[in-house]
Amino acid sequence: MNPKVAEYISKKENWRKELEALQAVFSDLPVEETIKWGAPTYVYNGKNIVGLAAFKNYCGLWFFQGSLLKDKHKVFVNAQEGKTKAMLQWRFSSLEEIDKNLIKAYVLEAIENVKLGKEIKPNRTKKELIIPEELQKELNSNKHFKEKFEAFSNSYKREYANYISEAKREATRVKRLQKIIPMILNGAGLHDKYKNC
């Protein structure tokens, strides 16, 4: 058992028994137990198979390639409808709902899919970067600011551009611009404080 996984489970007081029961499913399966994105993850041959997590109203399993599974028992939900094509979630709201044999059958099917090379790859189409007027004015008038902004990756630039353009009122867009200017000058991404280092 990975000590970081044990630590994760110990911090989830409301779901500890359920998480321990779910973790036990993997004890005799040929998977590596690790932590990714701050949550327990089970890996086979370098491929993420299943993630384990607890929330306020439920705990659950994430099958990274869940869309490839047959799901005869209709256990899956898509937690991000329209965003994720491959990943599906299996939610539990009580210990009694956890059928270890059924879960194991799904995990074994997922492992078999990895062996067969089945995989849904993410669609990596480039998203267009649209600079809002307020940000463009600042870029045009402040050379140092423009240099710092241009040094960012496209995804960081898009986060900042969207942050401003998503505001409906002009006053809010201006206020947001004033907030991000020092962040950009310091080379910080908009959401850096929320990302795990």
The answer as to whether 106 is a domain residue is yes
Q: What gap in Å lies between CA 91 and CA 74, rounded to an integer? A: 12
pLDDT tens track for 54-85? 989 999 999 999 889 998 999 998 877 766 77
- Retrieve residue 69's tokens: 């599974």
- Retrieve residue 77's tokens: 């939900």
Domain carrying residue 56: 3-115
Does 95 lie in the same domain as 186? no
The answer as to whether 121 is a domain residue is no
Please choose, from the candidates 74, 51, 55, 54, the residue with its C-alpha nearest in 3D space to the C-alpha of residue 63.
Answer: 51
Does 9 lie in the same domain as 49? yes
For 92, the 3-state DSSP assignment is: strand
Rg of the chain over Cα atoms, rounded to whole angstroms, equals: 22
Chain-centroid distance of CA 160 in Å reads 20
- Strand pairing partners for 88? 63
Q: What is the CATH number of the domain that holds 68?
A: 3.90.1150.200
Last residue of a domain, one of 46, 81, 115: 115
Does 66 lie in the same domain as 98? yes
The answer as to whether 103 is a domain residue is yes
> Would you say 110 and 41 are in contact if contact means Cβ atoms under 8 Å apart?
no
Does 143 lie in the same domain as 46? no
Q: Is the pTM of this model over 0.75?
A: no
pLDDT tens track for 89-110? 999 999 999 999 999 999 999 9
95: CB partners within 8 A, 6+ apart: 17, 18, 21
Q: What gap in Å lies between CA 191 and CA 102, rounded to an integer? A: 39
What's the total number of domains in the chain?
A: 2
The list of the chain residues with pLDDT below 70 reads 82-83, 122-126, 193-197
